[in-house]
C-alpha cells in the first residue's frame, strides 16, 4: 500500500512492526472518537517486547503531501509524537493559514474550538490579541518559539511556520500561567535549498497585502549555511467600518550555519510596525438582549434617572454597524522587535543540547476614543427626548496609553533517549532565566459637552482636546530562574508513563507614581517573591501502534500580578472586606486539569483523530479580610469541564481536513464576597466568554487530473454558541448586552495553478454576510463586530 508523505514535523522513529487490518473509513472514525474498544478486541496480546502491536487501518490513496497533519510539537519538552502525547494539542500549519488568507494570530486561532475574544474593562479598550480559552484569559500565555511574548500587539503570521495550541495547565512547561493552556507561534527557519515565494493580495476595504519568503544557500566556506528573509506590507481600511485603518509592515531575516551537521547556530531578527486608527467599538443600544435601563430623558436640560426620567418602553433601534464613534486623529502606533540566537548540538543519535537566547521589545503609543454608557447621569449617559431618537446623544471617553514591554530570556535544554534496566527513557531537562518588565505612563483628559456624539449619526470630523500626560506612571518587572525535568518511560510496548516537574523562583517589583494632580497620594513600591512548583503526570496505553488512550493530570500556579506586572496593596474594601487578588502577600492561584483522551492515526497514518474529556479548576481567585481580625482569607473557585474532538490530515489522495469541536460546562463554584444581607448573584453562574459549544472546520479538495487539474476548492464552517457577558446566576437584573448570541460563519476558497510557478487564489470570508458580535466589553455596553462578507484575490508566486 502506498503511503502519504507528510512534510510537516518528520515523524519520530518507533520500534513497532506494522501489521495490517482492514476497516472502513466510517468505522475507523467512530473508533477514534470513542474509547477504542473495537481496536482492543482485535489487538494481539503483548506477552513480550518482541510481540508486535497491530495497526488499525483504513485504506487511502497516495498523495504528494499531507498539508494539515503535524507529527510532533516544536518544543523539546514534548519528547514523543503528538499521537503519544497525553495532552490536547492542535497544530495549525502554514498551508492552512495560506489557504484561508489568514494574516494575524487571532484569525489563525479560528481553527481551534473554544477560542473567544474580549474588548476591555468598562471604559478601557483592549488592543492586540486578547484571547479567552477554555473559560480563562490566555492573553498572557502567548509564546514565540517557546519564549513568552509580551505586549498588547496584533501578531502577524508572515513569519509563522505553524501555530500550536496546547490545552490544559502549562506550569511544568512554561511556569506561571492560567488553567487553560498556551499558544506557541513557530517561526520560519532557513533551509538547505534555494526557493522564493511571494504573494500579492487585494481585498475588500481597499486592502493590499504583499509578502515574500526568500531562502538561499550560502557559500561562506562553512558547511550548511543558509539565509532566509520574510517581509510583508499590509495596508488598507477595515471592511464594513467607517474611517478605521490598519497598516502594518514587517521584516524577519534569519541566518543558519551548520545545517545538516551536528552543530547548528541560527541568528534571527523580527521587526513589525503597525500604524492604525483603532476601534473603540460600537454602542450596544438596541441589540437583541439589550436592556434599556440606561436610557435617560433630558428634562429641561437636567439629566434624570428613572423613574423621574422614565425607562423607554418602546423598542430601541440598533445603530449602524459601520458607525465610527472615535476621532480621525486617534492612532495606535506599535513596534515590536525580537532578536534570537538558537544554538543546537547533537552529541549522538537521540542526545542533543539546545540553547535559545532572546531579547524582545514592544512599544505602544495609543490614543483612542470610545463611547461610555453608565447608570450615572452625566456625560456618560445616553440623553434625549424619548419621542426623538434621532437626536439622542452618547458620551465618549478618551484613552491614552504609552506602554513599553521588554523581555530578556535564556533557555537551555538537554534531550536524551537511553535505556536503564531494560526501560527506555526519553528525557528533557534544563534551566530557564528570564527578566521581564513593563513601563506605562498615565494620561489625563477632561470631558466636555462637546465630546458627545449623535447616537445614530456620529460625525467623523469631531475634534477633541489632546490627551496630556498627568505625571502618573507605573513600572513592573519580574525576574525568574527555573529548572525543569520531563521523562517519558516506556514501561512495555503498550504502556508509557510521562512525568514533568518545574521549580521556579521569581521576584516581582512594582512601583506606582500618582498623578501630579493628587499630591496627597504617595508613591508605592511593592515586592513579591516566591518559589513555585508545577507538574504533570500521564499514563498512556497503546491498544495498537497507531492508537493511544491516556489519563493525565497537570497543575499550574499564577502569583499576584502575573498578567500585567501590577501589584496592589492589601487594603480591604470598606463594605465587603474584599482584597485585591494582586496583593503581594497572597498565595498564587492554583490550577489543575484532569484529562482522559484517545488519539488515532488512521488512513495509513495520514489522518489524526482525537477525543478528550477534561476537567479544569482554578482556586484562590478571591480574597477578603475578616471584619474583626483583619486576617485575609483566600477563596474563590471556577470549574470548566467538557469534551473536545479533533481531526487533522488527509482523508483521501485529494481531500485535506482540519476540524474541531468542544463542549464546555463552566461554573463559578465560589463567588465574590457580597455585602452582608445581600444576595449572592454569582455562585453557580456560567463563566463569561465561554460558549457551551463551538465548532470549526476547513476542507480542501484538489483536482489531480483532467481538464480541471490544478484547481483547489476549500471551505470552512465555524459555530459558536451563545456566551454570557455577565457572571450572573439569575438573581440580579441584567444591564446592557446580556450575552453574545450564537452564530454560524462560512468561508470559501478557490485556487488555480496556472503553472508550476504561478497560482491565483480567491477567498470569500463570511459568505452569508452574518451579523455577529466578535467581542463585548466587561461593562456590556460596547461591542466589536465580526468581519462582514469580504473578498480577496491573490497572485501567488513560487520558484
Report the Cα–Cα distance between both ends of the chain, in Å, rounded.
32
Lowest-pLDDT range of 93-97, 102-106, 628-632, 701-705: 628-632
Reading the block at residue 682, the C-alpha cell is 454569582
- CB neighbours of 369 closer than 8 A, spacing ≥ 6? 280, 325, 326, 327, 330, 396, 397, 398, 399, 464
Lowest-pLDDT range of 274-283, 427-436, 727-736, 783-792: 727-736
The answer on pLDDT for 53 being more than 80 is: no
pTM, two decimal places: 0.88
Choice between 299 and 219, residue whose per-residue pLDDT is larger: 219
Reading the block at residue 457, the C-alpha cell is 449619526
With CA atoms as reference, report the closest residue to 99 among 792, 766, 696, 647: 792
> Can you give the length of the chain in residues?
799
With CA atoms as reference, report the closest residue to 13 among 81, 62, 70: 81
pLDDT number for residue 123: 52
pLDDT number for residue 108: 95
Render pLDDT for 312-346 as a digit per residue (tens, 0 to 9). Answer: 434 678 888 899 999 989 999 999 999 999 999 99
CA-to-CA distance for 248 and 274, rounded, in angstroms?
4
The pLDDT confidence band at residue 290, using thresholds 50, 70 and 90, is low
pLDDT number for residue 94: 95
The pLDDT confidence band at residue 292, using thresholds 50, 70 and 90, is low
What is the residue-wise DSSP string for 608-644? Answer: EEEEEEEEEEEEEEEEEE-TTT--EEEEEEEEEEEEE
pLDDT number for residue 42: 37
The answer on pLDDT for 3 being more than 60 is: no
The pLDDT confidence band at residue 239, using thresholds 50, 70 and 90, is confident
Render pLDDT for 173-211 as a digit per residue (tens, 0 to 9). Answer: 999 888 889 999 999 999 999 999 999 999 998 999 999
Q: 81 burial class (0-12, 13-18, 19+ CB within 10 angstroms)?
A: buried
CA-to-CA distance for 216 and 214, rounded, in angstroms?
7
pLDDT number for residue 220: 85
What is the residue-wise DSSP string for 298-320? Answer: EETTEE--TTTS----S--PPPP
CA-to-CA distance for 501 and 658, rounded, in angstroms?
32
Q: What is the average pLDDT score of the chain?
A: 85
CA-to-CA distance for 186 and 165, rounded, in angstroms?
11
The answer on pLDDT for 11 being more than 50 is: no
Render pLDDT for 437-459 as a digit per residue (tens, 0 to 9). Answer: 999 999 998 888 788 899 999 99
pLDDT number for residue 702: 93
- CB neighbours of 312 closer than 8 A, spacing ≥ 6? 292, 295, 386
- CB neighbours of 754 closer than 8 A, spacing ≥ 6? 710, 760
Render pLDDT for 364-401 as a digit per residue (tens, 0 to 9). Answer: 999 999 887 765 544 456 777 767 888 888 888 899 99
The angle subtended at Cα 259 by Cα 256 and Cα 265, nearest 5°, is 40
The answer on pLDDT for 19 being more than 70 is: no
User: Other C-beta atoms within 10 Å of 255: how many?
Assistant: 17
Render pLDDT for 494-503 as a digit per residue (tens, 0 to 9). Answer: 999 999 999 9
Average pLDDT rounded to a whole number, residues 59-86: 82
The answer on pLDDT for 569 being more than 60 is: yes
- Asked whether the beta carbons of 188 and 161 are under 8 A apart, the reply is yes
pLDDT number for residue 289: 63
Amino acid at each position: 500500500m502506498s503511503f502519504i508523505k507528510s512534510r510537516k514535523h518528520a515523524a519520530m522513529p518507533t520500534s513497532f512492526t506494522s501489521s495490517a487490518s482492514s476497516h472502513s473509513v466510517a468505522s475507523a472514525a467512530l473508533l477514534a472518537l470513542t474509547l477504542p474498544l473495537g481496536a482492543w478486541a482485535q489487538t494481539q496480546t503483548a506477552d513480550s517486547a518482541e510481540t508486535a502491536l497491530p495497526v488499525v487501518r483504513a485504506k487511502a490513496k497516495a498523495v504528494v503531501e499531507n498539508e494539515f497533519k503535524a507529527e510532533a510539537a516544536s518544543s523539546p519538552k514534548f519528547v514523543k509524537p503528538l499521537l503519544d502525547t497525553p495532552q490536547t494539542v492542535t497544530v495549525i500549519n502554514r498551508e492552512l493559514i495560506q489557504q484561508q488568507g489568514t494574516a494575524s494570530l487571532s484569525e489563525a486561532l479560528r481553527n481551534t474550538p473554544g477560542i473567544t475574544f474580549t474588548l476591555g474593562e468598562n471604559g478601557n479598550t483592549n488592543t492586540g490579541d486578547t484571547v479567552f480559552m477554555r473559560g480563562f484569559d490566555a492573553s498572557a500565555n502567548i509564546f514565540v518559539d517557546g519564549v513568552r511574548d509580551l505586549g498588547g500587539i496584533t501578531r502577524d503570521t508572515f513569519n509563522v511556520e505553524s501555530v500550536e495550541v496546547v490545552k490544559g495547565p502549562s506550569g511544568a512547561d512554561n511556569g506561571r500561567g492560567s488553567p487553560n493552556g498556551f499558544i506557541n507561534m513557530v517561526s520560519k527557519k532557513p533551509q538547505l535549498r534555494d526557493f522564493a515565494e511571494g504573494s500579492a493580495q487585494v481585498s475588500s476595504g481597499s486592502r493590499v497585502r504583499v509578502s515574500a519568503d526568500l531562502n538561499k544557500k550560502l557559500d561562506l566556506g562553512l558547511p550548511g549555511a543558509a539565509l532566509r528573509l520574510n517581509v510583508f506590507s499590509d495596508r488598507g481600511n477595515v471592511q464594513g467600518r467607517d474611517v478605521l485603518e490598519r497598516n502594518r509592515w514587517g521584516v524577519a531575516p534569519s541566518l543558519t550555519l551548520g545545517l545538516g551537521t551536528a552543530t547548528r547556530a541560527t541568528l534571527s531578527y523580527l521587526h513589525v510596525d503597525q500604524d492604525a486608527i483603532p476601534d473603540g467599538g460600537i454602542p450596544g443600544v438596541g441589540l437583541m438582549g439589550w436592556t434599556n435601563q440606561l436610557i435617560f430623558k433630558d428634562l429641561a436640560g437636567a439629566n434624570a434617572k428613572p423613574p423621574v426620567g422614565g425607562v423607554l418602553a418602546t423598542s430601541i433601534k440598533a445603530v449602524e454597524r459601520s458607525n465610527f464613534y472615535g476621532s480621525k486623529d486617534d492612532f495606535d502606533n506599535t513596534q515590536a522587535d525580537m532578536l534570537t540566537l538558537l544554538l543546537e548540538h547533537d552529541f549522538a543519535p537521540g542526545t542533543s543540547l539546545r540553547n535559545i537566547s532572546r531579547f524582545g521589545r514592544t512599544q505602544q503609543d495609543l490614543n483612542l476614543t470610545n463611547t461610555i454608557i453608565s447608570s450615572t447621569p452625566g456625560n456618560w449617559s445616553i440623553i434625549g427626548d424619548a419621542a426623538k431618537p434621532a437626536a439622542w446623544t452618547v458620551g465618549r471617553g478618551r484613552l491614552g496609553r504609552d506602554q513599553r514591554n521588554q523581555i530578556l530570556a535564556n533557555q537551555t535544554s538537554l534531550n536524551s533517549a537511553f535505556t536503564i534496566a531494560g526501560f527506555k527513557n526519553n528525557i528533557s531537562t534544563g534551566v530557564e532565566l528570564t527578566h521581564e518588565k513593563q513601563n506605562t505612563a498615565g494620561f489625563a483628559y477632561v470631558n466636555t459637552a462637546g465630546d458627545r456624539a449623535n447616537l445614530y449619526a456620529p460625525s467623523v470630523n469631531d475634534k477633541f482636546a489632546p490627551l496630556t500626560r498627568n505625571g502618573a506612571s507605573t513600572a513592573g518587572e519580574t525576574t525568574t530562574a527555573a529548572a525543569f525535568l520531563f521523562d517519558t518511560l516506556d514501561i512495555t510496548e503498550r504502556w508509557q508513563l510521562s512525568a514533568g516537574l518545574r521549580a521556579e523562583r521569581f521576584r516581582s517589583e512594582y512601583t506606582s507614581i500618582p498623578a501630579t494632580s493628587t499630591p496627597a497620594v504617595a508613591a508605592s513600591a511593592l515586592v513579591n517573591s516566591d518559589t513555585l512548583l508545577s507538574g504533570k503526570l500521564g499514563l498512556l496505553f497503546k491498544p495498537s501502534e497507531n492508537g493511544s488512550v491516556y489519563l493525565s493530570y497537570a497543575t499550574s500556579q499564577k502569583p499576584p500580578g502575573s498578567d500585567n506586572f501590577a501589584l496592589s496593596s492589601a487594603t480591604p474594601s470598606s463594605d465587603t472586606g474584599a482584597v485585591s487578588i494582586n496583593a503581594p502577600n497572597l498565595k498564587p492561584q492554583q490550577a489543575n486539569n484532569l484529562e482522559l483522551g484517545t488519539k488515532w492515526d488512521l488512513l495509513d497514518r495520514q489522518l489524526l483523530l482525537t477525543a478528550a474529556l477534561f476537567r479544569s479548576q482554578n482556586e484562590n481567585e478571591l480574597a477578603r479580610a475578616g471584619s474583626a481580625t483583619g486576617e485575609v482569607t483566600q477563596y474563590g473557585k471556577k470549574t470548566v469541564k467538557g469534551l473536545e474532538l479533533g481531526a487533522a490530515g488527509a482523508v483521501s489522495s485529494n481531500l485535506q481536513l482540519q476540524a474541531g469541536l468542544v463542549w464546555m460546562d463552566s461554573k463559578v463554584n465560589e463567588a465574590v464576597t457580597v455585602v452582608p444581607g445581600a444576595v449572592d448573584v454569582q455562585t453557580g453562574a456560567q463563566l463569561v466568554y465561554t460558549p457551551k459549544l463551538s465548532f470549526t472546520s476547513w476542507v480542501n479538495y484538489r483536482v489531480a487530473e483532467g481538464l480541471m487539474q490544478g484547481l483547489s476548492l476549500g471551505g470552512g464552517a465555524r459555530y459558536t454558541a451563545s456566551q454570557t457577558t455577565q457572571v450572573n446566576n439569575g438573581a440580579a437584573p441584567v444591564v446592557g448586552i446580556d450575552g453574545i448570541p450564537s452564530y454560524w460563519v462560512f468561508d470559501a476558497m478557490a485556487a488555480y495553478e496556472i503553472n508550476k510557478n504561478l497560482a491565483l487564489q480567491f477567498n470569500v470570508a463570511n459568505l452569508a454576510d452574518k451579523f455577529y458580535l466578535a467581542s463585548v466589553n466587561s461593562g456590556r455596553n460596547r461591542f466589536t463586530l465580526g468581519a462582514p462578507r469580504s473578498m480577496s484575490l491573490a497572485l501567488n508566486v513560487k520558484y
